[in-house]
Structure 1
Amino acid sequence: MTPSRPRYLRASRAALTVALSLALGALPAFAAEPAAASVAAQRSEDAVGARFKALYTREWKWRQAQFAGGDDEDVQGQPSDKLPKVDPASQAARERYWAQVMEELDAIDKSQLRGEDPVNYEVFRQQIQSLLANQRLRSWEMPFNSDSAFWTNLGFTARRPIRDAEGYRRYLGQLRDIPRYFDEQIANMRAGLDRGYSVPRATLGGRDVSIKEVLDAKLEDNLFYTPFKQMPANLPAAEQARLRAEAARAIDEAVLPAYRKLLAFMREEYMTRARTTLAAEALPDGEALYRAKIREYTTLDLAPAQIHEIGLAEVAKIRAQMDQTIAKTGFKGSFAEFLHYLRTDPKFYPKTGDELLMRASWLAKRVDGQIGELIGLLPRQRFAIKPVPPDLAPFYTAGRGGRDVYLLNTYDLPSRPLFNLAALTLHESAPGHSLQTSLAAEHEGLPDFRRYTYISAYGEGWALYSEKLGIEMNLYDTPYDYFGYLTYQMWRASRLVVDTGVHHLGWSRERAQAFLRDNTALSEHEIQTEVDRYIGWPGQALSYYLGQMSIERSRAKAEQALGRDFDIRAFHDAILALGSVPLPVLEQRVDRFIVESREKAAARQAKAAGADSGKAGAGGGRR
């Protein structure tokens, strides 16, 4: 801050300015004030922008350090030879830090931010609010759910390629750190049990299998030995042998004892003491917790009852479309009979895992041939299509996509219908998750906290919207394929009903399963795993359909406003360039897109009119 000048100096300088103005016949001094005010305002805005950038840069660097060595299917932490600290002291420090960041953020005058910073502010604020809310609710005392867990997330690290000796040394350090990491997680889970904060007991059946598989595997087949099976050719043979020997010792001395301890805790303590209720609102501070989860996953401040009613209305709308599609198949019978037919006729199911993978690959290549008609800027990153690893598959969803891989579940093939495959592939690969997350990561104009983080309402909303783009790409070849698309739409609309039904209205597990069974063509296996997923992961299921509704609403608004000037490629590019943002920010961007598109159209018309005028003038001269 510049120290203020003495009052007498300021007064003398003002008098001198007036005298010079009068002597030289210049304009009065106050005429210069607007320019001076403009410069001062610009300096103020620059200072606010610099302060905001310093804040988010510092926090992101700190956040990366906090979770160094962590890994899951969406985010890979910065390299480390240790796993993250998760003990109560570290959790308390995170809460204090993010509370301080929020105070600093509140002190920033958002109205003075310029360029992309107003959007950066909204995205950053949403992230910090969610992080802080989870710390205050002590979500870290429940570090797993029926979909994913801290111990299965370690598998993502084990399956990632390692390219040099330093990478292997870091990985070995992480293996040695597993006992400390598991001990801290067990202590946290025990504290959660003591206050009635746990995963519902009803969803825990068989969840210990993924722990036991690590203990039962021979060294060569052990998940954590995976990086040592095929090592880089540039590593000398002697060093490869030494690293393999170290891995064998680390697995025997650190990994296996830690997993034995975790398995005993889960079987003898957690599974017997876990709560018998299902609803998030039955947890300590349950109503506040569920509303916080709704805000985190939807980026909207909607009441559970309001979301439930939205879901029921959308279910009714989609059901009418399903009835029309059944008529096109020529099937004679009731809706329930048609669903039974889809679930039981072998012609709708792959005979082998390879068949499922190859059909998905063919669909993905068909998308490649058309995607340029819908999206202008495409990512450099390519994705592979692989089966879900066997240790995850029994309780894993049908598929999941990331920047470099689309995981397709080949477990229990009679529960993997081919009529759903087009919608699933569009959602998980391109133009869904793989494309969207790759574009975000490659957008060098965005700060890192927007390039490498994921807001569920945006990401899942885009992926679900991508399923609808399959209609424009003619990906649904038969009425059965189209019914598969509709059953996926119905599945996500039903989530609004089921999630709020369980966590707010007190639905039983059986009632939630029955709702999916009666309204979708999902297999029985999928119905059971999905309902357990919603029970153990409150609020996450709400992000999909609400996100899609926001994008569809924004597109309809732009199409109506722009008419013939609407450009679908430019519209998608504008949305995808955001990275991952709260839904209100997305809708504000579309409002700006409409204005920009009108300005471009007006400029084109003016240019064309000028060209026509020039031609007319030239023609008159020739006559």
Structure 2
Amino acid sequence: MTLRLAPFAASLAAIAFTLPVAAPVLAQSEAAQTADERLRALYEADWEWSLADQATTHDEDGQLTSGDHFPSVTPADYERRLAHWEETLAALDAIPADQLSEAERINASVFRTNLEIAINDTRYREYEMPLNSDSSFWSGINPRPGRLTRAGDFQRYLGRLRDLPRYFDENIANMRAGLARGFTVPRVTQVGRDASMEPFTNADPDENPFYAPFADMPDAIPTAERQAMQAEARALIAEAVAPAYAELLAFYRDEYLAGARTTTGASDLPDGDAYYDTQIREFTTLDMTAEEIHQLGLSEVARIRADMEATIAETGFEGSFAEFIQFLRTDPQFYAQTPEELLMFSAYVAKRADATIGDVIGVLPRRRFTILPVPDEIAPFYTSGRGGLRSCLMNTYDLPSRPLYNAPALTLHECAPGHSMQAALAEERDAGPEFRRYTYFSGYGEGWGLYTEYLGIEMGIYRTPYENFGRMTYEMWRAARLVIDTGLHRYGWSRQQAIDYLSENTALSDLEIENEIDRYISWPGQALAYKLGELTIRRMRGEAEEALGENFDRRTFHDEILALGSVPLSTLEDHMRRWIAEQQSGD
């Protein structure tokens, strides 16, 4: 989960936001407060304000959830927020960092990074481009199965349905402003995305996915109350929701696609080179240039390619690398015959991971996760899988594009020990401010996810050379991203050049490759987080093993990273080096 400003509210089910506020009126003078107290007053006030501003609340169990309306996304509201963020950053700057305790120093680093990202995104008016190739403000609004369990959940959901037309109108106005100044996603990345809206334009509630939660409401809700909410939902879907989607669909097809830019690189956006630099910083949380990342990617691709060649030799396959890739992409033995078979394969990997996860991680969360298929309306252009607090998704669309040899690595990354487990541990933090439980930095989170694919070797997850090659193809995929993302957005690569590079170096299917390239084109910088984060964690582990020798315990090492929570990668490095020194001294 992410708790900072995101470019589209589709993520409300999985992403929350930290929207800073102006310095609060303090109950006592600054001179009488310690640095820690001043910082806590600042981020606690911010947290309360951000919940209200982003229409987020706590449910009856105290869990963070979407409220009864959507946040306002007008330019005036973003100007108001920007003023708050800048004032809050100034207040943070005024707190003497050298007087903070270690725990609050980390909190300050997270808080500052959130502020800087939010400020940069708003200055570049990212809200005028509230979509990319696989996510958008109009998707993910209808809850996943089982998310609504109490009357209050349904009442808040009804409130969001009532508010949906206003929210869509504001986003359409922002997109028109983006069109006017050439700040749009590339047209090529939006082909077929209009299909994701079509099911929601149906004015018949029984055929509209928004009604699904009301069709099977819990018996614990009294009959009369259930019936009243069902009747209201039917009316809202027919009279408000479906017409709003129909209006959005017409705008998207007739106006937005026609006017969207035909170029692909971020460098072609207004002030594009500077914008791309901010996105690199946002997603990697490192001070690296595009040029440095590109060269690192080339080096990693060469290293992993050598490992892949050695694994091909283990299989006994006689032929070239390209011929082996073609064999993997076409042989029926590597593919599920039904969506259920793919889901069950992934579930079995998750259960096998349960057998050894305690050998590599000491502290495990109480919360469980489920495995669900990617919703039908977005599956054709969605990524292969995505993890979250309550569930991880596996894409069952076009099964000949979903090889089972990739599923072990994908399941570890998205479910456990990856994103679902990581999010659960963050949520169950007993100490520290609440905003830290829901903060998510891609470099940390995706770096951990990719690292857990490597950890699968130690857990005994990869049973055949083919499954190990699947792990390698996933690692190669993330290394190639360093080359491709910077190639597209700094070096002027074409879409086809990027497709060819990923196809030549991985065993991903053609559909996966095209979807992924469109994602990188429409979401500059995000793809860089994975490999840079994983390399950071592996580098820290190498330093710990060398420094501690036989006293190194991988479980306590991993526990320390997970207990730290999502932080900028530079903060992770600083903290883990302090931890290594403490372990050496016996403190």
Aligned to 2:372, what secondary structure does the other structure show? strand
Residues 217 and 419 of structure 1: CA distance in aligned 2, closer, same or farther (over 3 Å)? farther
Contact 1:178 1:258 in 2 (8 A): yes
2:135 maps to 1:148: yes
Paired residues in the alignment total 554
Deviation at 1:158, TM superposition (A): 6.2
**Bigger radius of gyration:** 1
Deviation at 1:63, TM superposition (A): 1.4
Give the 5 Å matches for 1:324-403. 324-403=310-389
Aligned to 1:370, what secondary structure does the other structure show? helix
Partners of 1:393 and 1:98 lie apart in 2 by 36
Pick from 468, 484, 495: which aligns with 2:470?
484
Contact 1:298 1:547 in 2 (8 A): yes
Partners of 1:570 and 1:215 lie apart in 2 by 51
Deviation at 1:163, TM superposition (A): 2.8
Partners of 1:66 and 1:77 lie apart in 2 by 14
Contact 1:450 1:580 in 2 (8 A): yes
Give the 5 Å matches for 1:25-36. none
Contact 2:203 2:238 in 1 (8 A): no
Pick from 295, 298, 311: which aligns with 1:309?
295
Partners of 1:247 and 1:77 lie apart in 2 by 23
Contact 1:534 1:540 in 2 (8 A): yes
Q: Deviations over 1:260-312 (max 9, x none)?
A: 11001000000000011111111011111101100000001211111100000
The structure, 1 or 2, with the larger RCO (C-alpha pairs under 8 Å, 6+ apart) is 2
Residues 476 and 44 of structure 1: CA distance in aligned 2, closer, same or farther (over 3 Å)? farther
Partners of 1:305 and 1:596 lie apart in 2 by 36
Contact 1:575 1:589 in 2 (8 A): no
Contact 2:203 2:239 in 1 (8 A): no
Give the 5 Å matches for 1:427-576. 427-576=413-562
Give the 5 Å matches for 1:215-226. 215-216=201-202, 218-226=204-212
Kindly provide the amino acid, as one letter, of the partner of residue 150 in structure 1.
F
Residues 518 and 241 of structure 1: CA distance in aligned 2, closer, same or farther (over 3 Å)? same
Contact 1:182 1:258 in 2 (8 A): yes
Residues 500 and 78 of structure 1: CA distance in aligned 2, closer, same or farther (over 3 Å)? same
Contact 1:457 1:547 in 2 (8 A): yes
- Stretches of structure 1 that go unaligned for 5 or more consecutive residues are 1-42, 604-623
Partners of 1:473 and 1:82 lie apart in 2 by 44
Q: Deviations over 1:306-357 (max 9, x none)?
A: 1100000000000000000001111111111110010011111111111111
Q: Deviations over 1:1-55 (max 9, x none)?
A: xxxxxxxxxxxxxxxxxxxxxxxxxxxxxxxxxxxxxxxxxx9795211111101
Deviation at 1:593, TM superposition (A): 1.6
Structure 1 equivalent of residue 8 of structure 2: none
Structure 2 equivalent of residue 94 of structure 1: 81
Partners of 1:81 and 1:177 lie apart in 2 by 8
Aligned to 1:385, what secondary structure does the other structure show? strand
Partners of 1:151 and 1:70 lie apart in 2 by 21
Aligned to 1:208, what secondary structure does the other structure show? helix
Partners of 2:270 and 2:207 lie apart in 1 by 42
Residues 596 and 426 of structure 1: CA distance in aligned 2, closer, same or farther (over 3 Å)? same
Aligned to 1:235, what secondary structure does the other structure show? coil
2:48 maps to 1:58: no
Aligned to 1:580, what secondary structure does the other structure show? coil
Aligned to 2:34, what secondary structure does the other structure show? helix
Contact 1:69 1:77 in 2 (8 A): yes
Residues 81 and 595 of structure 1: CA distance in aligned 2, closer, same or farther (over 3 Å)? same
Kindly provide the amino acid, as one letter, of the partner of residue 478 in structure 1.
T
Residues 78 and 475 of structure 1: CA distance in aligned 2, closer, same or farther (over 3 Å)? closer
Partners of 1:425 and 1:99 lie apart in 2 by 40
Pick from 571, 574, 586: which aligns with 1:588?
574
Contact 2:203 2:242 in 1 (8 A): no
Pick from 170, 183, 189: which aligns with 1:184?
170
Contact 1:70 1:83 in 2 (8 A): no
Structure 1 equivalent of residue 271 of structure 2: 285
Contact 1:45 1:114 in 2 (8 A): no
Deviation at 1:80, TM superposition (A): 2.3
2:123 maps to 1:136: yes
Identity %: 54
Deviation at 1:216, TM superposition (A): 3.9
2:47 maps to 1:47: no
Aligned to 1:154, what secondary structure does the other structure show? coil
Partners of 1:45 and 1:507 lie apart in 2 by 57
Pick from 251, 262, 278: which aligns with 2:248?
262
Deviation at 1:159, TM superposition (A): 4.5
Residues 571 and 44 of structure 1: CA distance in aligned 2, closer, same or farther (over 3 Å)? farther
Structure (1 or 2) with the greater helix fraction: 1
Kindly provide the amino acid, as one letter, of the partner of residue 109 in structure 1.
P
Kindly provide the amino acid, as one letter, of the partner of residue 176 in structure 2.
R
Contact 1:375 1:572 in 2 (8 A): yes
Aligned to 2:77, what secondary structure does the other structure show? helix
- Stretches of structure 2 that go unaligned for 5 or more consecutive residues are 1-29
Deviation at 1:169, TM superposition (A): 2.2
Partners of 1:142 and 1:521 lie apart in 2 by 32
2:82 maps to 1:120: no
Partners of 1:463 and 1:441 lie apart in 2 by 17
Q: TM-score, normalised by structure 1?
A: 0.87
Kindly provide the amino acid, as one letter, of the partner of residue 335 in structure 1.
F
Residues 381 and 58 of structure 1: CA distance in aligned 2, closer, same or farther (over 3 Å)? same
Contact 1:45 1:113 in 2 (8 A): no
Deviation at 1:167, TM superposition (A): 2.7
Residues 253 and 69 of structure 1: CA distance in aligned 2, closer, same or farther (over 3 Å)? farther
Deviation at 1:91, TM superposition (A): 0.9
Structure 1 equivalent of residue 10 of structure 2: none
2:180 maps to 1:199: no
Partners of 2:560 and 2:150 lie apart in 1 by 39
Partners of 1:347 and 1:125 lie apart in 2 by 50
Deviation at 1:222, TM superposition (A): 1.4
Kindly provide the amino acid, as one letter, of the partner of residue 225 in structure 1.
Y
Q: TM-score, normalised by structure 2?
A: 0.92
Contact 1:459 1:580 in 2 (8 A): yes
Contact 1:210 1:391 in 2 (8 A): yes
Aligned to 1:135, what secondary structure does the other structure show? helix
Residues 59 and 343 of structure 1: CA distance in aligned 2, closer, same or farther (over 3 Å)? same
Give the 5 Å matches for 1:15-30. none
Partners of 2:533 and 2:523 lie apart in 1 by 18
Partners of 1:524 and 1:217 lie apart in 2 by 36
Residues 296 and 471 of structure 1: CA distance in aligned 2, closer, same or farther (over 3 Å)? same
Pick from 392, 404, 407: which aligns with 1:418?
404
Aligned to 1:406, what secondary structure does the other structure show? strand
Partners of 2:42 and 2:370 lie apart in 1 by 37
Partners of 2:419 and 2:151 lie apart in 1 by 32
Aligned to 1:151, what secondary structure does the other structure show? coil
Kindly provide the amino acid, as one letter, of the partner of residue 112 in structure 1.
Q
Residues 387 and 381 of structure 1: CA distance in aligned 2, closer, same or farther (over 3 Å)? same
